[in-house]
Amino acid sequence: MSQLNQLKQTVNGLAESAKRTGSNLAQFEKQFGQQTQQVQAAIGGSAQRKDQEVVAALQQASKAVKQATAALANASRIASSYGQSL
């Protein structure tokens, strides 16, 4: 197999892997968001520092998961486009 074909195969595999992982992460994001809402509802308007820390940590994690999902989708799209151009 030529180096170009190997590169194309590797890039396409990477694109598919990123797409699959992003899809799984999006499912996790949905579940995590629902659970976060439940925790926030249970905590309510508590002014306790520990409660606020929990909510802030969950919100930060949710944001990071969304960013990771978007980054994987972008990487998949770009790698796929590159693989098709080879």
Residue carrying structure tokens 């990487």? 75
pLDDT band at 83, cuts 50/70/90? very high
d(CA 75, CA 81): 10
Kindly state the helix (H) or strand (E) to which residue 29 belongs, with its residue range.
Answer: helix 3-43
What average pLDDT does range 60-80 have in this prediction?
96
Length of the chain: 86
pLDDT at 68: 97
In sequence order, the 6+-apart residues with CB closer than 8 A to the CB of 77 are 15
pLDDT at 79: 97
pLDDT at 1: 75
pLDDT band at 85, cuts 50/70/90? very high
Give the whole-number percent of the chain exceeding pLDDT 70. 100
Structural Rg of the chain based on CA atoms? 19
∠ CA(28), CA(29), CA(31), 5° rounding? Answer: 65
Task: Break the chain into its structural domains and give their ranges.
Answer: 3-85
